[in-house]
Amino acid sequence: MPPPAPHLPSPPRRRDNPSSALDQAWRSTDLLLNTGGFRAIVLDLGDTPPEQARRVPLTTWYRFRLQVEKAHVLFLLLTRIPCAGSCSALSVCCAPAEADWRQAADGGGSPALFGGVRCRITVRRNRTADVQRAAVQRKEPVRMGAPSLPAAAGDGSAWTSAAPWTR
């Protein structure tokens, strides 16, 4: 009879629950915002299902907003849907990009060259411009530190990136 195999502890179970991963993201972001020392914090929730992103309580967004203003840090939230609501200073929508492919100058059988990217960026909400516009209507001086971006909702701006070899 062979000797019994030694009992090895089983590896820790991996949690595939997306809500626990989202909870970890909130806790980590909260920790980074409270710690300070960062100029920018990016939270990418692009893989989070929209129904989970909508379930985030508004109190969480307000707490993050207060922490961001206190720490003077750029907090960039990347999501598929707008979910921070009135807590966001700026809400931007980016339409799918179109790649620009060009033929080489020789025109032969050479492959196409990547010429750049074109996408439409729309400012949906700009709280800074709203505050400035309200101050101008009241005839008060505006004392904002950052320059304002276009305030008109729905006005799209075309953004194009060109590769240096195609100019």
Which of 103 and 33 is assigned the larger pLDDT? 33
| Total domain count, the chain | 2
The 10 Å CB-count burial string (b at 16+, else e) for 14-23 is eeeeeeeebe
One domain, residues 47 and 83: yes
Packing angle of the helix pair 18-35, 58-71 (nearest 10 deg): 30
pLDDT at 54 (0 to 100): 84
> Structural domain of residue 61, as residue ranges?
19-88
Q: Do 70 and 104 sit in the same domain of this protein? A: no
pTM across the whole model:
0.57
Cα 7 to Cα 69: distance, rounded to the nearest angstrom = 53
> What mean pLDDT value characterizes the chain?
74
Among the candidates 40, 73, 88, a domain finishes at 88
Asked whether residue 4 is assigned to any structural domain, the reply reads no
The answer to whether residues 101 and 127 belong to one domain is: yes
Question: Do both 61 and 120 map to the same domain?
Answer: no
Average pLDDT over residues 151-165: 55
Q: Render pLDDT for 95-130 as a digit per residue (tens, 0 to 9).
A: 878 888 887 766 666 778 888 888 888 888 777 666
Placement of tokens 């790649």 in the chain: 99
User: In the structure, what pLDDT confidence band is assigned to residue 6 with cuts at 50, 70 and 90?
Assistant: low
Verify that 69 and 104 share a domain, yes or no: no
**93 and 166 in one domain?**
yes
Residues 29, 80, single domain; the answer is yes
In this structure, are 128 and 93 located in the same domain?
Answer: yes
Single out the residue in 88, 115, 133 at which a domain terminates. Answer: 88
131-82-149 Cα angle (round to 5): 35
77 and 115 housed in the same domain: no
* Statement: residue 28 has pLDDT above 70: yes
Same domain, 74 and 107: no
Q: Count of CB atoms within 10 A of residue 129's CB?
A: 19
Instruction: Determine phi and psi for 108, rounding to 5 degrees.
Output: -75, -150
pLDDT band at 161 (very low <50, low <70, confident <90, very high): low
Residues 107 and 139 in one domain: yes
Please report how many Cα atoms fall inside a 13 Å half-sphere around the Cα of residue 75, on the Cβ side. Answer: 24
State what percent of residues in the chain have pLDDT above 90: 8
